Amino acid sequence: MKFGTKAVHEGITPDPTTGAIMTPIYQTSTYVQEAPGQHKGYAYARGKNPTRVALERGIASLENARHGLCFSSGMGAADAVIKLLRPGDEVLATDDLYGGSYRMFTKVFAHFGITFHFVDMHDLQALEKHITPATRMLWLESPTNPMMKILDIAGCTALARKHKLLCVVDNTFATPYLQNPLDLGADIVLHSVTKYLGGHSDVIMGALMTNSDELHEKLAFIANSCGAVPGPMDSFLVLRGLKTLHLRMQRHCENGKAIAHMLRKHPKVAKVYWPGFEDHDNHAVAKKQMRDFGGMISFALREDSFEAATRVAKATHLFYLAESLGGVESLIGHPASMTHASIPREERIKTGITDSLLRLSVGVEDVEDLIEDLTQALDKA
Active centre residues (catalytic)? 46, 98, 170, 195
**Smallest gap from residue 308 Cβ to ligand PLP (A):** 26
Of the two residues 24 and 100, which places its CB atom closer to ligand PLP in the complex?
Answer: 100
What is the pattern of x (binds ligand PLP, CB under 6 A) and - over residues 74-103? Answer: xx----------------------x-xx--
**Smallest gap from residue 73 Cβ to ligand PLP (A):** 3
Alpha carbon 344 to its chain centroid, in Å, reads 24
**Smallest gap from residue 71 Cβ to ligand PLP (A):** 8
Asked whether 104 and 93 are in contact (CB, 8 A), the reply is no
Q: Distance between CA 59 and CA 284 in Å, rounded?
A: 28
Of the two residues 103 and 162, which places its CB atom closer to ligand PLP in the complex?
Answer: 103
Contacts of 215 (CB under 8 A, 6+ apart): 84, 166, 187, 188
Of the two residues 268 and 348, which places its CB atom closer to ligand PLP in the complex?
Answer: 348
**Smallest gap from residue 170 Cβ to ligand PLP (A):** 5
**Smallest gap from residue 186 Cβ to ligand PLP (A):** 15
Number of residues located near ligand PLP, criterion CB under 6 A: 16
The reply to whether 339 sits near ligand PLP by the rule CB under 6 A is no
**Smallest gap from residue 145 Cβ to ligand PLP (A):** 6
Of the two residues 74 and 256, which places its CB atom closer to ligand PLP in the complex?
Answer: 74
**Smallest gap from residue 198 Cβ to ligand PLP (A):** 9
What is the pattern of x (binds ligand PLP, CB under 6 A) and - over residues 153-182? Answer: -----------------x-xx---------
| Residues forming beta bridges with residue 30, ordered by sequence position | 44
Q: Distance between CA 211 and CA 153 in Å, rounded?
A: 17
What is the pattern of x (binds ligand PLP, CB under 6 A) and - over residues 185-224? Answer: -------x-xx--------x-x------------------
Long-range contacts of 73-76 (CB under 8 A, 24+ apart): 73/192, 73/194, 73/204, 73/205, 73/206, 73/228, 74/100, 74/172, 74/190, 74/191, 74/192, 74/193, 74/194, 74/195, 74/204, 74/205, 74/206, 75/100, 75/101, 75/104, 75/206, 76/206, 76/228
Candidate residues 141, 152, 234, 355; the one interacting with ligand PLP per rule CB under 6 A: 141
- With CB atoms as reference, the residue minimizing the distance to ligand PLP is 74
> In which element (H, E) is residue 178 found?
helix 175-178
**Smallest gap from residue 113 Cβ to ligand PLP (A):** 23
The reply to whether 143 sits near ligand PLP by the rule CB under 6 A is no
The reply to whether 73 sits near ligand PLP by the rule CB under 6 A is yes
Q: Distance between CA 60 and CA 210 in Å, rounded?
A: 8
The reply to whether 145 sits near ligand PLP by the rule CB under 6 A is yes
Name which of 343, 37, 295, 55 is nearest 198 in CA terms.
55
Of the two residues 81 and 381, which places its CB atom closer to ligand PLP in the complex?
Answer: 81
Name which of 144, 172, 178 is nearest 246 in CA terms.
178
Q: Distance between CA 81 and CA 113 in Å, rounded?
A: 15
Of the two residues 172 and 310, which places its CB atom closer to ligand PLP in the complex?
Answer: 172
Long-range contacts of 113-116 (CB under 8 A, 24+ apart): 113/86, 113/87, 113/88, 114/82, 114/85, 114/86, 114/87, 114/88, 114/89, 114/90, 115/89, 115/90, 115/91, 116/90, 116/91
Residues in 247-286 at the binding interface with ligand PLP, rule: CB under 6 A: none
The reply to whether 147 sits near ligand PLP by the rule CB under 6 A is no
Of the two residues 191 and 266, which places its CB atom closer to ligand PLP in the complex?
Answer: 191
Name which of 189, 276, 238, 248 is nearest 4 in CA terms.
248
Stretch that binds ligand PLP, among 22-30, 59-67, 71-79, 223-231 (CB under 6 A): 71-79
> In which element (H, E) is residue 358 found?
strand 358-361
Query: Which stretches of the chain bind ligand PLP, using CB under 6 A?
Result: 73-75, 98, 100-101, 141, 145, 170, 172-173, 192, 194-195, 204, 206
